[in-house]
Structure 1
Amino acid sequence: MADGGFVRLLDGSVVVALSLPRPDAPARSVRVLVHAVNRPRALTRLRNLGLRAVYLRGNAAPPTPDEVSAVLHHPEGIVWRATPGDAADPWQPMTRLVHAARHPRAA
Protein backbone atom coordinates (compact mmCIF):
# COMPACT_ATOMS: atom_id res chain seq x y z
CA MET A 1 0.00 0.00 0.00
CA ALA A 2 2.84 2.39 0.76
CA ASP A 3 5.76 3.65 -1.25
CA GLY A 4 8.75 3.95 1.01
CA GLY A 5 11.92 2.54 2.37
CA PHE A 6 14.20 2.38 5.37
CA VAL A 7 17.74 2.96 6.58
CA ARG A 8 19.54 1.12 9.34
CA LEU A 9 21.38 3.38 11.76
CA LEU A 10 24.73 2.67 13.42
CA ASP A 11 23.05 1.64 16.69
CA GLY A 12 21.01 -1.02 14.85
CA SER A 13 17.71 0.89 14.93
CA VAL A 14 15.91 1.89 11.73
CA VAL A 15 14.14 4.89 10.27
CA VAL A 16 11.25 3.94 8.01
CA ALA A 17 9.80 6.42 5.51
CA LEU A 18 6.39 5.86 3.91
CA SER A 19 4.18 7.84 1.56
CA LEU A 20 0.62 7.25 2.71
CA PRO A 21 -2.81 8.56 1.79
CA ARG A 22 -3.81 11.28 4.22
CA PRO A 23 -6.48 9.89 6.60
CA ASP A 24 -8.59 13.05 6.53
CA ALA A 25 -8.18 13.56 2.74
CA PRO A 26 -7.42 10.25 0.95
CA ALA A 27 -6.76 11.94 -2.39
CA ARG A 28 -3.69 13.62 -0.88
CA SER A 29 -0.61 11.87 0.46
CA VAL A 30 1.78 12.51 3.32
CA ARG A 31 5.35 11.42 3.99
CA VAL A 32 5.59 9.65 7.34
CA LEU A 33 8.85 8.91 9.18
CA VAL A 34 9.13 6.42 12.04
CA HIS A 35 12.13 5.65 14.23
CA ALA A 36 12.06 2.20 15.86
CA VAL A 37 14.27 -0.72 16.88
CA ASN A 38 13.35 -2.63 13.70
CA ARG A 39 11.08 -2.46 10.62
CA PRO A 40 8.22 -4.56 12.04
CA ARG A 41 8.11 -2.40 15.17
CA ALA A 42 8.01 0.78 13.08
CA LEU A 43 4.97 -0.52 11.19
CA THR A 44 3.36 -1.64 14.44
CA ARG A 45 3.73 1.88 15.82
CA LEU A 46 1.76 3.20 12.83
CA ARG A 47 -0.87 0.48 13.08
CA ASN A 48 -1.35 1.30 16.76
CA LEU A 49 -2.22 4.84 15.71
CA GLY A 50 -5.04 3.55 13.50
CA LEU A 51 -3.26 3.18 10.17
CA ARG A 52 -4.14 -0.49 9.81
CA ALA A 53 -3.21 -1.32 6.21
CA VAL A 54 0.41 -0.16 6.31
CA TYR A 55 3.03 -2.36 4.67
CA LEU A 56 6.57 -1.76 3.50
CA ARG A 57 7.53 -3.65 0.38
CA GLY A 58 10.99 -2.98 -0.90
CA ASN A 59 13.24 -0.01 -0.41
CA ALA A 60 12.30 2.21 -3.35
CA ALA A 61 12.09 5.50 -1.43
CA PRO A 62 14.34 5.38 1.66
CA PRO A 63 14.51 8.42 3.95
CA THR A 64 16.97 11.13 3.08
CA PRO A 65 19.60 12.25 5.61
CA ASP A 66 17.49 15.35 6.36
CA GLU A 67 14.45 13.16 7.05
CA VAL A 68 16.47 10.90 9.34
CA SER A 69 17.67 13.94 11.25
CA ALA A 70 14.10 15.28 11.57
CA VAL A 71 12.69 12.09 13.07
CA LEU A 72 15.66 11.50 15.38
CA HIS A 73 15.26 14.98 16.87
CA HIS A 74 11.54 14.58 17.53
CA PRO A 75 10.60 13.26 21.00
CA GLU A 76 7.86 10.93 19.71
CA GLY A 77 9.99 9.46 16.92
CA ILE A 78 7.08 9.67 14.45
CA VAL A 79 6.60 12.71 12.21
CA TRP A 80 4.82 13.56 8.96
CA ARG A 81 4.82 16.26 6.29
CA ALA A 82 2.08 16.96 3.76
CA THR A 83 4.46 18.02 1.01
CA PRO A 84 7.37 15.59 0.67
CA GLY A 85 10.60 17.34 -0.22
CA ASP A 86 9.35 20.85 0.60
CA ALA A 87 11.61 22.31 3.29
CA ALA A 88 9.10 25.14 3.86
CA ASP A 89 6.50 22.61 5.03
CA PRO A 90 7.45 21.76 8.64
CA TRP A 91 7.48 18.24 10.08
CA GLN A 92 4.43 17.67 12.29
CA PRO A 93 3.91 15.25 15.20
CA MET A 94 1.94 12.18 14.15
CA THR A 95 -0.66 12.78 16.85
CA ARG A 96 -1.77 15.92 14.99
CA LEU A 97 -2.52 13.94 11.80
CA VAL A 98 -4.37 11.22 13.70
CA HIS A 99 -6.38 13.81 15.63
CA ALA A 100 -7.33 15.59 12.37
CA ALA A 101 -8.56 12.30 10.90
CA ARG A 102 -10.71 11.54 13.94
CA HIS A 103 -12.02 15.10 14.38
CA PRO A 104 -12.12 16.75 10.92
CA ARG A 105 -13.81 19.96 12.14
CA ALA A 106 -11.13 20.58 14.79
CA ALA A 107 -8.27 20.61 12.25
Structure 2
Amino acid sequence: MAAGGFCRLPNGRVVVALNLPSQSAEGSGSVRVLVHAQNRARALTRLRNLGLRAVYLRGNGQPPSPDEVTAVLHHPDGLIWRTAPGADACVGELWHPIRALMRQPAAPR
Protein backbone atom coordinates (compact mmCIF):
# COMPACT_ATOMS: atom_id res chain seq x y z
CA MET A 1 0.00 0.00 0.00
CA ALA A 2 1.21 3.50 -0.75
CA ALA A 3 0.32 7.07 0.12
CA GLY A 4 -0.52 9.20 -2.86
CA GLY A 5 -3.22 10.73 -4.93
CA PHE A 6 -4.32 11.62 -8.43
CA CYS A 7 -5.62 14.46 -10.53
CA ARG A 8 -7.85 14.34 -13.57
CA LEU A 9 -6.68 16.31 -16.60
CA PRO A 10 -9.05 18.30 -18.87
CA ASN A 11 -8.82 15.57 -21.55
CA GLY A 12 -10.08 12.93 -19.08
CA ARG A 13 -6.73 11.24 -18.49
CA VAL A 14 -5.18 11.10 -15.01
CA VAL A 15 -1.82 11.59 -13.33
CA VAL A 16 -1.30 9.33 -10.33
CA ALA A 17 1.37 10.08 -7.70
CA LEU A 18 2.49 7.45 -5.20
CA ASN A 19 5.07 7.42 -2.40
CA LEU A 20 6.68 3.99 -2.36
CA PRO A 21 9.38 2.58 -0.06
CA SER A 22 12.77 2.64 -1.73
CA GLN A 23 14.56 -0.63 -2.40
CA SER A 24 17.94 1.02 -2.89
CA ALA A 25 21.02 0.36 -0.82
CA GLU A 26 21.34 4.01 0.25
CA GLY A 27 18.81 3.80 3.02
CA SER A 28 15.24 3.33 4.02
CA GLY A 29 13.81 6.41 2.27
CA SER A 30 10.97 6.49 -0.17
CA VAL A 31 10.47 7.52 -3.76
CA ARG A 32 7.71 9.53 -5.41
CA VAL A 33 6.44 7.82 -8.57
CA LEU A 34 4.29 9.62 -11.16
CA VAL A 35 2.23 7.79 -13.78
CA HIS A 36 0.28 9.31 -16.68
CA ALA A 37 -2.49 6.99 -17.89
CA GLN A 38 -6.02 6.75 -19.27
CA ASN A 39 -7.47 6.15 -15.78
CA ARG A 40 -6.39 5.23 -12.24
CA ALA A 41 -6.74 1.51 -12.78
CA ARG A 42 -4.48 1.58 -15.84
CA ALA A 43 -1.90 3.67 -13.99
CA LEU A 44 -1.69 1.08 -11.22
CA THR A 45 -1.60 -1.72 -13.79
CA ARG A 46 1.43 -0.08 -15.44
CA LEU A 47 3.25 -0.21 -12.08
CA ARG A 48 2.17 -3.78 -11.36
CA ASN A 49 3.44 -4.87 -14.79
CA LEU A 50 6.86 -3.56 -13.76
CA GLY A 51 6.90 -5.87 -10.74
CA LEU A 52 5.43 -3.56 -8.09
CA ARG A 53 2.64 -5.97 -7.18
CA ALA A 54 1.43 -4.53 -3.87
CA VAL A 55 0.64 -1.02 -5.14
CA TYR A 56 -2.77 0.38 -4.24
CA LEU A 57 -4.15 3.89 -4.19
CA ARG A 58 -6.40 4.61 -1.24
CA GLY A 59 -7.83 8.10 -1.13
CA ASN A 60 -6.40 11.29 -2.50
CA GLY A 61 -4.25 12.55 0.38
CA GLN A 62 -1.17 13.55 -1.62
CA PRO A 63 -2.21 14.45 -5.17
CA PRO A 64 0.47 15.49 -7.66
CA SER A 65 1.48 19.14 -7.66
CA PRO A 66 1.20 21.20 -10.87
CA ASP A 67 4.98 20.92 -11.29
CA GLU A 68 4.79 17.13 -11.00
CA VAL A 69 1.99 16.97 -13.55
CA THR A 70 4.05 19.05 -15.98
CA ALA A 71 7.09 16.82 -15.46
CA VAL A 72 5.25 13.57 -16.20
CA LEU A 73 3.39 15.03 -19.19
CA HIS A 74 6.66 16.07 -20.79
CA HIS A 75 8.33 12.68 -20.33
CA PRO A 76 7.94 10.30 -23.29
CA ASP A 77 7.23 7.25 -21.10
CA GLY A 78 4.78 9.03 -18.80
CA LEU A 79 6.30 7.17 -15.84
CA ILE A 80 8.94 8.90 -13.69
CA TRP A 81 10.31 8.94 -10.12
CA ARG A 82 12.57 10.79 -7.69
CA THR A 83 13.30 10.78 -3.98
CA ALA A 84 10.13 11.57 -2.03
CA PRO A 85 9.66 15.15 -0.82
CA GLY A 86 10.84 15.76 2.71
CA ALA A 87 14.09 13.89 2.25
CA ASP A 88 17.29 15.94 2.24
CA ALA A 89 18.41 14.34 -1.03
CA CYS A 90 15.30 15.66 -2.80
CA VAL A 91 16.52 19.26 -2.97
CA GLY A 92 17.34 20.00 -6.60
CA GLU A 93 16.96 16.39 -7.70
CA LEU A 94 15.71 15.83 -11.23
CA TRP A 95 13.08 13.32 -12.27
CA HIS A 96 14.33 9.94 -13.50
CA PRO A 97 12.75 7.46 -15.92
CA ILE A 98 11.29 4.41 -14.21
CA ARG A 99 13.92 2.20 -15.88
CA ALA A 100 16.56 3.80 -13.63
CA LEU A 101 14.63 2.76 -10.51
CA MET A 102 13.96 -0.77 -11.67
CA ARG A 103 17.61 -1.54 -12.47
CA GLN A 104 18.99 -0.38 -9.10
CA PRO A 105 20.58 -3.28 -7.21
CA ALA A 106 18.70 -4.56 -4.20
CA ALA A 107 20.15 -3.97 -0.74
CA PRO A 108 22.58 -6.70 0.38
CA ARG A 109 21.17 -9.08 2.97
TM over 0.5: yes
> What corresponds to 2:29 in structure 1?
28
Deviation at 1:87, TM superposition (A): 5.3
The one-character-per-residue Cα deviations of 1:62-81 (angstroms, maximum 9, x if unpaired) are 00000000000000000001
Identity within the alignment, %: 63
Query: What number of residue pairs does the alignment pair up?
Result: 103
Match of 1:43 in 2: 44
Pairwise CA RMSD of aligned residues?
1.8
Q: Secondary structure at the match of 1:27?
A: coil
* 1:8-53 deviation line (CA, Å, top 9, x unaligned): 0000000000000012357210000000000000000001111110
Residue segments in structure 2 that go unaligned for 5+ positions in a row: none
User: What CA distance in whole angstroms lies between the structure 1 residues aligned with 2:23 and 2:91?
Assistant: 22
Q: 1 CA distance for matches of 2:70 and 2:2?
A: 22
Q: TM-score, normalised by structure 1?
A: 0.89
Q: Report the residue type matching 2:18 in the other structure.
A: L
Gapped runs of 5+ residues in structure 1?
A: none
Q: Which residue of 2 aligns with 1:88?
A: 92
> Contact 1:18–1:31 at 8 Å: present in 2 too?
yes
Higher strand share: 1
Q: Is contact 1:23-1:98 (8 Å) kept? A: no
Distance 1:97 1:34 in 2: 14
Counterpart secondary structure, 1:63: coil
Q: Go from structure 1 to structure 2 and tell me whether the alpha carbon gap of 1:75 and 1:87 turns closer, same or farther (over 3 Å shift).
A: farther
Question: Counterparts of 1:58 and 1:77 in 2: how far apart (Å)?
Answer: 22
